[in-house]
Structures are given as structure tokens and as C-alpha cells.
Amino acid sequence: MTTGDERAVRPGGVTSNPYPLGLRLHGRRVVVVGGGAVATRRVPALLDAGADVLLVAPELTPALQARADAGRLHWVPRRFQPEDLDGAWLVQVAIDDPMAAASVSAVAAERRIFCVRADDRTAATAWTPAVTRHGPVTVAVLGGGDPRRAMTVRDAVRDLLAVRLAPDGIAVAPSRPDAATGATGGRQTGRVALVGAGPGDPELITVKGWRLLTEADVVVADRLVPGLLLDELRPDVELVDASKIPYGPSRAQEEINQILVDRALAGASVVRLKGGDPYVFGRGGEELLACASAGVPVTVVPGVTSSIAAPAAAGIPVTHRGVAHEFTVVSGHLAPDSPASLVRWDALAGLHGTLVILMGLKNLAAITATLIAHGRSPQTPAAVVQEATTGTQRVLRSTLDAVAADALTADLRPPAVVVVGDVVNALDG
Ligand code: SAH
């Protein structure tokens, strides 16, 4: 039983506030009794905290079974016995049967082990809060016995934290104008994050990428980065449009590397925002090396790559059971007969699986002709997906022998992904 305010009534009728703690469970035994849905939800956070989890349950859900099989927890495949609590610091009772749960709590109480009860919060000696994590910060909310209230408050806090928090967990003032101007003033070296922005839909950035973006002092963005992500930056953030750097491609890359290094050495948190995934034809490796050799700490946040997302957005799975057991992602920016090409088109023609071609529109006629010349069937389904996951997405379906001409007729333009293989029609009724 709980009251309407932030307090809970104990069985004896005494009202008291819970006392919050952050348990440091690394290497410490936590016993979870039960192997169903509740345990499945509780166990990951315990493992994340490094706890030595002993799971006592006659049966496990497949998710828990997988963790047991992987050796991430110890599973005792039977009902609870008192000696299961030997050496335990905490016990979580995740079973429905109130009698069985009460007997576990009784043993825990006898041994002075805190006990969380999924079946009866008022009988528990500890409550699990609603949690949000933001980098190193953990916010835990107890709702006075009402988990939904705790979740509502937690969600509000999470939204607030997403607005502004420095990577080291210290909230900083919303404006740091000197960070971007090269004034060192004895400040520490900043950092660079190479962040994948996803294929186009601004919601397809990762949670981590989004957090770093909201924390950045400087954002260096590519042409293919979703504009809406940039719209939401704070006004004091320095935005460098990498596509406007007025040199040839290799000089421009050097220039970008220099901007990343200079700003970080001046103390700024720099996000290098790249379309899709930073390491898929994104020159992310070069930027990482440039930062590393200048002594700038750099992290990589993978992104949703257009090579998988563009087909998906057109209803094409890159693999499908019984249809394709492989997918190959290849750049088509050089013609197949170009001496500089690193792609074995003849060998690719011999594969049965899915071929995903990026930057291939310009050379599509030569590419498809080469694939057919080396044995891929001219009737192989093929599709082109332009501006995938955006409001202007276009999809063209064709066959290998016709797709280049069809794309021309339809006036398809970059950015576009070409998909070749039976998966193109795999989900058609
Ligand atoms: N790093 C990016 C790819 C960069 S190369 C990624 O992982 O997605 C640029 C090429 O990616 C474009 O020429 C095009 O082939 C493809 N591309 C990127 N975004 C796309 C989109 N929204 N729709 C279709 N193709 C896209």
C-alpha cells in the first residue's frame, strides 16, 4: 500500500522516506530469484554495474538463457533455497508467487541483505528507481511507491539533461565563445568525436551521437548531414560547413583535419558530423589519424549507414532467409576500367548475394555492363534509392540490364544507393 505523497507506508503503519544510495556492485554477488520477464529487465543493469549475478530459477527466458550460455551470469536451475544467499549483498525477487517471494524476503531479512520485491513493493526493503544515464551521470528517481510517477519525472529530467551537459559530467554555461576562436588561455585540450549522423532522417542519429552534438562547441558538418540536426544546435555553436571549403578534395580534407585539431587544441569539444557511418567511405580514418598524431583525444560514434538503411527504407532487406546470405558494399565512384579502381568487379559478378553500390550513379552503365559481362544474370533485380529516409526519397525498381538507362530516364541524382540482387523483390507479395 502506498500513500499519495512521496512517502510510503510500511506494513507497521510507520511512514518514512527511502534513503537513496548508489550501490557499487562490481564483483559483488547479487542474487536474482526468478527467470521471467521481470528478471529479464532487471539483469542487464546489474551486469552493467559489474555485479556477480546468481540467477535462481527452474526456467529462463531466451534472453536470460543467452546470457547464461555466454557465461555472463551463474544460473542455478531450480527453485530458491536459503543457501543461495550465501555471500550475497543484494537480492532481487522477480517471481509472482507471493508465498515463495515472502520466504525469500524472510531469509534475506534474517541475513540483513537488502531485498527488492517485484511482487510487493511494500514488503521490500529496497526499491529500484527509474533511471536515466547521461555519460557519467546517473539519475535515479523514486516515485513514492508509484513507478509511473517515477518514470514521468525521470523522462523530464532526461530531456533537460539532453540540453546541456559537458562530457565530464559537469554542467557548463551555455556559452563558451573563446573555445572556438583558438584562444588557449591555459585551458585543457578539448576533444573530437567523429559522429555518424545517419542516412538523412534526423531521427536516425544514435542517442550517443545526439548527446555529443548537444554538448559540442564546434560542429564540422558534411554536405550529406541532415540539415534538421544542425537547426537544433545552440546559437553559440560554431558551425563549419565542410562542403564549402574552397579547395580540391584532398586539400579540403587536410583543411578539415586542421580545423578539427586546431579547435580541439584550443579546448573545444568538436563534433565531426558525417553522413551515415564515419568509416563507410567517409574518410573517418584519416581524420582519426590526424587527431591522434596531434595528441587530440578522439572517439568514434558509429552511425546508421545508407548502405543498409537506404535499401531498408525502400522495403529491401540486404539479407533475407533463403534469398541472400551475404551483402557486399562497394564504391562505384571510379569506373570499373579505371586504373585507380580497387574493386574486383569481375569477382563481384560471381557472387550470388546482394551488391550495394554507393556513389555509383555516374558509372552505373559501365558497372552493370561489367557485372553482366562477367556472368551476373541480366535479369537480376536491381533498384536505385535516392535521398533515402528523407521526405524526397525516390525508389526505382528495375533489372541489372536496364537499371542504368531507367535511372537516367527517371532523372535520378545523387545521393543514391544502387542495390543488385534477388532481395530487391524479396518482400514483394
Ligand atoms: N558514410 C556514408 C556514405 C558516404 S559516401 C554512409 O555510411 O552512408 C556518399 C554516398 O552514400 C552517396 O553517394 C550515396 O551513394 C550514399 N548515400 C548517403 N546518404 C544517402 C541517402 N540518404 N540516400 C541514398 N544514398 C545515400
CA atoms within 13 A on the CB side of 17: 5
115 and 143 housed in the same domain:
no
Q: How far is the CA of 193 from the centre of ligand 1 (A)?
A: 20
332 and 414 housed in the same domain:
yes
Ligand 1 in reach of 282 Cβ (< 6 A): yes
Q: What is the pTM of this model?
A: 0.75
| Alpha helices, H only, 73-168 | 98-110, 147-163
Which one is catalytic: 52, 222, 274, 277?
222
Task: Select from 334, 357, 358, 361 the residue to mutate for testing ligand 1; criterion: most ligand atoms less than 8 Å from CB.
Answer: 358
Which amino acid residue places its CA nearest to atom 15 of ligand 1?
Answer: 358
Range of the domain at 29: 23-128
Round to whole Å and give the CA distance between 343 and 6. Answer: 65
Round to whole Å and give the CA distance between 87 and 28. Answer: 9
Which amino acid residue places its CA nearest to atom 2 of ligand 1?
Answer: 276
Which one is catalytic: 244, 277, 411, 422?
244
CATH number at 230 reads 3.40.1010.10
Ligand 1 in reach of 306 Cβ (< 6 A): yes
* pLDDT digit string, tens, across residues 113-155: 999 998 898 999 999 999 888 878 889 999 887 888 998 999 8
123 and 136 housed in the same domain:
no
- Residue 234, all three cell numbers: 545552440
79 and 157 housed in the same domain:
no
Q: What angle do CA 275, 277, 282 make, to 5 degrees?
A: 70
Q: How far is the CA of 239 from the centre of ligand 1 (A)?
A: 22
- In this predicted structure, what is the pLDDT of residue 164? 53
Which pairing describes strands 269-274 and 218-221: parallel, antiparallel, or unpaired?
Answer: parallel
**Sign of the alpha-carbon dihedral angle for 411, 416, 419, 423:** negative
Decide if 182 contacts 238 (C-beta within 8 A): no
357 and 390 housed in the same domain:
yes
Q: How far is the CA of 252 from the centre of ligand 1 (A)?
A: 19
**Active-site residue flag, 222:** yes
Ligand 1 in reach of 363 Cβ (< 6 A): no
Ligand 1 in reach of 356 Cβ (< 6 A): no
Q: How far is the CA of 121 from the centre of ligand 1 (A)?
A: 51
Total domain count for the chain?
4
Ligand 1 atom at shortest distance from the alpha carbon of 332: 15
195 and 250 housed in the same domain:
yes
Ligand 1 in reach of 395 Cβ (< 6 A): no
Ligand 1 in reach of 310 Cβ (< 6 A): yes
Ligand 1 atom at shortest distance from the alpha carbon of 306: 8
Q: Tell me whether residue 384 is in a domain.
A: yes
Q: Tell me whether residue 10 is in a domain.
A: no
160 and 122 housed in the same domain:
no
Ligand 1 atom at shortest distance from the alpha carbon of 284: 1
- Among 258, 288, 304, the domain-final residue is 304
| End-to-end alpha carbon distance in the chain | 53
421 and 311 housed in the same domain:
yes
**Sign of the alpha-carbon dihedral angle for 397, 400, 406, 412:** positive
Q: How far is the CA of 284 from the centre of ligand 1 (A)?
A: 14
- In this predicted structure, what is the pLDDT of residue 3? 39
Burial class from Cβ neighbours inside 10 Å (0-12, 13-18, 19+) for residue 59 reads exposed
387 and 418 housed in the same domain:
yes
Ligand 1 in reach of 200 Cβ (< 6 A): yes
Ligand 1 in reach of 415 Cβ (< 6 A): yes
* Residue numbers of the chain with a pLDDT score lower than 50: 1-9, 12-13, 166-185
Q: Tell me whether residue 222 is in a domain.
A: yes
- The SS3 call for residue 369 is helix
Round to whole Å and give the CA distance between 50 and 368. Answer: 52
338 and 380 housed in the same domain:
yes
Ligand 1 in reach of 358 Cβ (< 6 A): yes
Which residues sit opposite 273 in a β-bridge? 195, 221
Q: Tell me whether residue 110 is in a domain.
A: yes
**Active-site residue flag, 274:** no
- Among 289, 304, 319, the domain-final residue is 304
Round to whole Å and give the CA distance between 224 and 386. Answer: 12
223 and 293 housed in the same domain:
yes
Q: For the range 402-409, what are the long-range contacts, defined as Cβ-Cβ under 8 Å and sequence gap of 24 or more?
A: 403/364, 403/368, 404/364, 404/365, 404/367, 404/368, 405/365, 407/361, 407/364
* pLDDT digit string, tens, across residues 170-222: 433 333 333 333 344 455 889 999 999 999 999 999 999 999 998 999 999 98
